[in-house]
Amino acid sequence: MNWLKKPASDTQLTHGDRLWLYFVATIIMLLLVIPTFIVIPMSFSESQYLEFPPEHWSARWYNVYFESSKWMRATVTSVQVGVLTMLVATPMGVMAAYALFVSGHRAARAIFAFLITPMIVPVILIAIGAFYAYGRVGLNNTITGLVLAHAVLATPLVMIVITSALRNYDLNQERVARSLGATRLKAFFVITLPQIKFSIVTSALLAFLTSFDEVIIAIFVSGGVNATLTKHMFSSLRDFIDPTIAAISTIMILVSTTLLLATQFIGSRQK
Amino acid sequence: MSSHPDSESSGASTALPIHIQGLTKKYGQMFALDSVDLEVKSGEFLTLLGPSGSGKTTLLMAIAGFNRPDAGSIRFGETEVILTPPHQRNVGMVFQSYALFPHMSVAENIAFPLKLRGIAAAETAQRVEAALTTVQLDGLGDRDIEQLSGGQRQRVALARAFVFRPRILLMDEPLSALDKKLREQMQIELKHLHEQLGVTTVYVTHDQREALTMSDRIVVINHGKLTQIDTPHNIYNHPANAFVADFIGESTMLPLEHDGSGKLFFQDHLVETDFKTDAARNWSLVIRPERLFMADKKAVDSEKAIVFSGVVRDFVFQGETAFALMSINDKYDLAFRFGTDSSSSQNILQAGDQVSLGLNRSDVIIIPQGDDS
């Protein structure tokens, strides 16, 4: 156990002195992830009902999921809405973040705060508001309506990621480019954009995930043939509990973690 | 941007004068530029010198087109440019942070302004090579920016700013990120480069020694106003007011009294015998520390020099010179400097020593008290 006697950091503490901290940190991390991962073994159960731990193992609920037209349709809707949300929220968020970052106007801070309120306001309020507003203009149960509402949630995330990328970027580069003969637009596309592209990809993936994982707004404003995966899962849980939900959850965990790991990986490449 | 002169002739023929009139820029209630008038001569190396917040960078950015003044006129030659966007002004610009494009190689950085002007690939390559040679970076065109040292990055930024043969070159504290030795070396190189290119150059710095080293003329700027415009020699030897005297070089200021008949006194020292002044003003004597010399009170001709006596209060050895403060009557501290060569008997001073310091009358500088001229 030589390792215990080695210094843990620049301080005088050794790993031995820090052992209690490692223990506490591990417990906390496990408490954070175990509730999520408990569905994985449950999804491989033979049983008709959700059970943990499963007595017999099988992949039958995955077959149910992949063979059900209802579930497949919902999956397609979810992916569709996610991609469209990403396509709406990413350019809007990038443009807003850039404009507010570059602007020296004293209202810029206030506008930024205003635009990120959807992150602070309880989502249920946005959902109720959207439901009644959409009722007037006929956007309930439409892909468009869902995409717009999800873009409201995703845009602040894009703005925060892009703003932090711009903070690490020397805007004088754009000024130099302009003094050298580039228009402002060209300077942005040729000089700034290539240097924040990894942050843009990261924010786009986050925008997709925001929509893909979202359930509250989907419950209110999506339905019929345009119901999302999350909405179907929620209604299924209410009506009858079968392990298909666990199988779908497992797939969603897989998608989400893969995308999040991708953003981490991309982020680390952008020094 | 199509209007840039593309002739092969280098030097003064492509340089443009800058005429600035009544330029005013307000941030809230504060004047960043207060009705500035300035003539930059064609081919001149002009330095804007001032403390931070003086307005020197605001003025430079107005010339570059990055801020829009509230009033006034900026002309390049005969052309009014106040409404011309930066990309059409055709000025080269070097920033303190260099602002090189990290996603491009050295050669791509330098080629950037040429590409924007639609210059053919062969000529671009040849001009980039020539620019690299001018800044002594031959063969480094393929390097990434991250592989370069600070001094090399500075040179790339320079090459990129002059490769498209702008008629005006603007520099915003381009050397301040370099260490002292390299900075001093680059000052000389920049001066040579300016002579070689002959381009009208406006240079911003807060470093008075840098300004004195490089400039044809220096503009001292404070609180958005131009305090003095003159050659380095005149700025140093004839500062217009206390601000300039204090900001450039070291100085001691001693209050003067006038007797109404044209004589100015510091205590019982007669400083000036025939001084034309309106009685309402107060005047100060400015003494540069290095202009004082150790004097034997009886041997000095009072026609030629003023002799101050006092007690050494502080003495510091600083390498090439030694610095000391002499207290006069415990009321005024007179700063002085002298060489530290072995023959100099002066480097054996100690605090408490009684000394006499002479100042030649030709080195007397008299300025009005207060910061405005």
How many angstroms away from the CA of B171 is the closest CA of chain A? Answer: 11
Model confidence at B373: pLDDT above 70: no
Shared-domain flag, residues B226 and B271:
no
Shared-domain flag, residues B238 and B267:
no
Q: What pLDDT is recorded for position B7? A: 39
> Using an 8 Å Cβ cutoff, are B261 and B320 in contact?
no
Quick check: is B5 in a domain?
Answer: no
Quick check: is A104 in a domain?
Answer: yes
Of the listed ranges A76-85, A201-210, B343-352, the least confidently predicted one is B343-352
Of the listed ranges A19-23, B233-237, B276-280, the least confidently predicted one is B276-280
Q: Which residues of A touch B113 (CB under 8 A)?
A: 180-181
Percentage of chain B beyond pLDDT 70 is: 92
> Using an 8 Å Cβ cutoff, are B221 and B56 in contact?
yes
Q: Which residues of A touch B109 (CB under 8 A)?
A: none
- Nearest Cβ partner for B99 among A173, A184, A186: A173
Quick check: is A52 in a domain?
Answer: no
Say which DSSP state A192 is in.
I
Q: What pLDDT is recorded for position B338? A: 84
Shared-domain flag, residues A98 and A155:
yes
Q: What pLDDT is recorded for position B10? A: 41
Domain range holding B312?
250-368
Q: Does A175 touch chain B (CB under 8 A)?
A: yes
User: Whose CA is closest to A171, among A190, A151, A188, A154?
Assistant: A188
Contact B116 A170 (CB under 8 A): no
Model confidence at B6: pLDDT above 50: no
Model confidence at A241: pLDDT above 70: yes
User: In this structure, what CATH number is given to the domain that contains residue B342?
Assistant: 2.40.50.140
Shared-domain flag, residues B227 and B359:
no
Model confidence at B8: pLDDT above 80: no
Residue A161 CA to residue A204 CA, distance in Å, equals: 10
Quick check: is B81 in a domain?
Answer: yes
First to last CA, chain A: 35
Q: Return mean pLDDT, chain A.
A: 89
Q: What pLDDT is recorded for position B221? A: 94
Of the listed ranges A168-182, A191-205, B9-23, B243-257, the least confidently predicted one is B9-23
| Torsion (CA) B105, B109, B110, B114 in degrees, nearest 10 | 120
Q: What pLDDT is recorded for position A20? A: 92
Mention every residue, 6+ apart, whose C-beta is less than 8 A from residue B115. B124
Model confidence at A89: pLDDT above 70: yes
Shared-domain flag, residues A163 and A202:
yes
Shared-domain flag, residues A169 and A216:
yes
Residue B169 CA to residue A179 CA, distance in Å, equals: 10
Final residue of a structural domain among B220, B243, B266: B243
Model confidence at B93: pLDDT above 60: yes
Residue B366 CA to residue B284 CA, distance in Å, equals: 6
Could you read off the pLDDT of B258-272 as tens digits, one per residue?
Answer: 777 778 888 888 777
Q: Which residues of A touch B153 (CB under 8 A)?
A: none
Residues 182-201 of A with CB under 8 A from B: 182-184, 186-187, 191, 194-195
How many angstroms away from the CA of A109 is the closest CA of chain B? Answer: 18
Q: Which residues of B touch A194 (CB under 8 A)?
A: 103
Shared-domain flag, residues B301 and B223:
no
Quick check: is A199 in a domain?
Answer: yes
Quick check: is A271 in a domain?
Answer: no
Q: What is the mean pLDDT of residues A61-77?
A: 90
Quick check: is A267 in a domain?
Answer: no
Shared-domain flag, residues A83 and A198:
yes
How many angstroms away from the CA of A179 is the closest CA of chain B? Answer: 5
Domain count of chain A?
Answer: 2
- Nearest Cβ partner for A181 among B66, B116, B157: B116
Could you read off the pLDDT of B247-259 as tens digits, one per residue?
Answer: 998 889 988 887 7
Residue B64 CA to residue A33 CA, distance in Å, equals: 55
Shared-domain flag, residues B236 and B91:
yes
Contact B90 A194 (CB under 8 A): no
How many angstroms away from the CA of A180 is the closest CA of chain B? Answer: 5
Confidence of residue B366 (pLDDT cuts 50, 70, 90): confident
Query: In degrees rounded to 5, what are phi and psi of residue B359?
Result: -130, 120
Final residue of a structural domain among B243, B261, B294: B243
Shared-domain flag, residues B286 and B192:
no
Model confidence at A113: pLDDT above 60: yes
Nearest CA in chain B to A195: B103
Quick check: is B124 in a domain?
Answer: yes
Domain range holding A219?
68-239
- Note the helical H segments in A169-215: 172-179, 184-187, 193-195, 197-213
Of the listed ranges A89-98, B172-181, B257-266, B337-346, the least confidently predicted one is B337-346
Confidence of residue A225 (pLDDT cuts 50, 70, 90): confident
Chain A interface, best mutation among B81, B112, B158, by max A CB count within 10 A:
B112
Chain B interface, best mutation among A168, A173, A176, A198, by max B CB count within 10 A:
A176
Tokens of B142: 């393929």
Shared-domain flag, residues B147 and B167:
yes
Residue A173 CA to residue B1 CA, distance in Å, equals: 19
Q: What pLDDT is recorded for position A270? A: 59
Q: Which residues of A touch B87 (CB under 8 A)?
A: 178-184, 187
Quick check: is A61 in a domain?
Answer: no
Q: Which residues of A touch B85 (CB under 8 A)?
A: 178, 183-184
Q: What pLDDT is recorded for position A57? A: 87
Q: Which residues of A touch B116 (CB under 8 A)?
A: 180-182, 186
Mention every residue, 6+ apart, whose C-beta is less than 8 A from residue B246. B253
Model confidence at A117: pLDDT above 90: yes
Q: Which residues of B touch A170 (CB under 8 A)?
A: 97, 99
Q: What pLDDT is recorded for position B11? A: 40
Residue A165 CA to residue A198 CA, distance in Å, equals: 9
Residue B60, H or E segment: helix B56-64
Quick check: is A160 in a domain?
Answer: yes
Q: Is the model more confident about A7 or about B112?
A: B112
Q: Which residues of A touch B64 (CB under 8 A)?
A: 175, 179
Q: Which residues of B touch A189 (CB under 8 A)?
A: none
Q: What is the mean pLDDT of residues A127-131?
A: 93
Confidence of residue B297 (pLDDT cuts 50, 70, 90): low
Model confidence at B23: pLDDT above 50: yes
Q: Which residues of B touch A180 (CB under 8 A)?
A: 87, 92-93, 112-113, 116, 160-161, 164
Confidence of residue B4 (pLDDT cuts 50, 70, 90): very low
Residue A215 CA to residue A193 CA, distance in Å, equals: 33
Quick check: is B3 in a domain?
Answer: no
Q: Return mean pLDDT, chain B.
A: 87
Residues 22-61 of A with CB under 8 A from B: none
Shared-domain flag, residues B221 and B271:
no
Nearest CA in chain A to B86: A179
Could you read off the pLDDT of A2-11 as tens digits, one per residue?
Answer: 778 788 777 7
User: Whose CA is closest to B67, among B172, B197, B180?
Assistant: B172
Nearest CA in chain A to B110: A180
Quick check: is B4 in a domain?
Answer: no
Q: What pLDDT is recorded for position B299? A: 75
Apex B92 CA angle, B87 and B94, nearest 5? 115
How many angstroms away from the CA of A192 is the closest CA of chain B? Answer: 9
Could you read off the pLDDT of B150-207 as tens digits, one per residue?
Answer: 889 999 999 999 999 998 999 999 998 888 888 898 899 999 999 999 999 999 999 9
User: In this structure, what CATH number is given to the domain that contains residue B31?
Assistant: 3.40.50.300
Q: In what order do the strands lie in the sheet with B305-317?
A: B292-294, B354-360, B305-317, B321-328, B332-339
Could you read off the pLDDT of A7-40 as tens digits, one per residue?
Answer: 877 777 888 888 899 999 999 999 998 888 888 8
Q: What is the mean pLDDT of residues A84-111?
A: 93
Query: In degrees rounded to 5, what are phi and psi of residue A46?
Result: -80, -25
Confidence of residue B316 (pLDDT cuts 50, 70, 90): confident
Confidence of residue B280 (pLDDT cuts 50, 70, 90): low
- Nearest Cβ partner for B160 among A172, A180, A182: A180
Shared-domain flag, residues B157 and B26:
yes
Q: What pLDDT is recorded for position B344? A: 64
Shared-domain flag, residues A76 and A158:
yes
Q: Which amino acid is at B208?
A: Q
Residue B51 CA to residue A245 CA, distance in Å, equals: 68
> A72 vs A67, A69, B86, CA distance in Å?
8, 5, 55
HSE-CB of B23 using CA atoms within 13 angstroms? 31
Contact A178 B1 (CB under 8 A): no
Domain count of chain B?
Answer: 2
Model confidence at A78: pLDDT above 90: yes
Shared-domain flag, residues A6 and A112:
no
Q: What pLDDT is recorded for position B5? A: 42
Residue A250 CA to residue A36 CA, distance in Å, equals: 9
Contact B93 A176 (CB under 8 A): yes
Could you read off the pLDDT of A147-192 as tens digits, one per residue?
Answer: 999 999 999 999 999 999 999 999 999 999 999 999 999 999 999 9
Of the listed ranges A82-91, A228-237, B16-25, the least confidently predicted one is A228-237
Confidence of residue B64 (pLDDT cuts 50, 70, 90): very high
Could you read off the pLDDT of B122-131 as tens digits, one per residue?
Answer: 999 999 999 9
Contact B95 A176 (CB under 8 A): yes
Q: What pLDDT is recorded for position B330? A: 84
User: In this structure, what CATH number is given to the domain that contains residue A206?
Assistant: 1.10.3720.10
Q: What pLDDT is recorded for position A1? A: 64
